[in-house]
Amino acid sequence: MKTATLLIIPVMVMISCKNEGNKPKDNANDVKSEISFYTTDDIKIYGDLYEIDKEHTTLLLFHQGGSNAVGEYSPIIPRLIEKGFNVLAIDQRMGGQAYGGCNRTLANIPSNHIGDGYGYCDAYNNLESALDFVIESGFIGKKILWGSSYSASLSILLANKRQGDVNGVLAFSPASGGPMKECLPDEYFETLKIPLLLLRPANELENESSRVQFELAKRFDHKTYIAKNGIHGSSMLVKERVGSDIKDNWNVVLSFLGRIEQ
């Protein structure tokens, strides 16, 4: 049996964020502010908040392993801003410098926290603390979780636990391999009653555990999508990364968001 693995395994070392690389363009930067908050185990999480109106829907964007908010989402956020969404994109404790950005959370972790056995499942509190930050900051519109790879799996867990606070979840290529064995989302497809969209590129369904997970989501009437033109995680929405047309991918995502907005 094949087992799905995470796309990028982060190296747990101190990094520098002198040059963040890619940045969102124009309209996104006009409403952007850098924020930070603490998790329950005292890790300072850095992120970027794009505020349009606190009454509008807020999207909480979480990156994949080895990545960061700016690197993964800089080509995606401007389109979401154009649609009128508030966006919070954070640098999780499990990440790195993929896609040209820098993980500020990792760069500022005290030396006594480095190499302490922190794993992918432990990053769950990074996501839940982000949701609490949005709520405590007075955003009264709907809240939608958006996860990529390992954070897609954790987003499903968070959505299931906080169904009273979350209105929907997008899960791009949710990780299903060994590093996630203690926090796989599969058992929550039955109990999750808010809208879920699970997306994968076609080639990932060649992997048995990914295919089983995908079919399980369908069995419990969650929306699923196979991207003919796509790659792992949220990057299936970035043409330069996919190397071909991604219009259908975006149409599915925006249609799902639109139905929650109604």
Kindly give the residue spans of alpha helices, DSSP state H, lying in the chain: 27-30, 69-73, 77-82, 104-107, 124-136, 150-161, 208-219, 239-242, 247-261
**Per the domain annotation, does 34 fall within a domain?**
yes
What's the structural domain count of the chain? 1
**Could you tell me if residue 21 is inside a domain?**
no
* Residue 75 falls inside a structural domain: yes
17 within a domain of the structure (yes/no): no
pTM: 0.91
Q: Is residue 197 part of a domain?
A: yes
Of the pLDDT bands very low, low, confident and very high (cuts 50, 70, 90), residue 26 is low
Q: What is the pLDDT of residue 24?
A: 66
SS3 content of the chain, % helix, strand, coil (to 5): 40, 20, 45
**pLDDT tens for residues 106-137?**
999 876 665 566 789 999 999 999 999 999 99
Percentage of the chain lying above the pLDDT 90 cut: 79
Neighbouring C-alpha atoms within 13 Å toward the C-beta of 61: 28
Specify the pLDDT at position 12. Answer: 40
Inside any domain, residue 19: no
**Domain span including residue 208:** 27-261
Within 13 A of 92's CA, how many CA atoms are on the CB side?
Answer: 33
Q: According to the model, what pLDDT value does residue 178 have?
A: 78
Quick check: is 6 in a domain?
Answer: no
Looking at residue 47, which CATH number applies to its domain?
3.40.50.1820
pLDDT of 111: 65
Q: What is the mean pLDDT of residues 154-183?
A: 94
Whether 18 is covered by a domain: the verdict is no
What pLDDT digit, counting tens, does each position of 212-230 carry?
999 999 999 999 999 999 9
Q: How many CB atoms lie within 10 A of CB 27?
A: 15
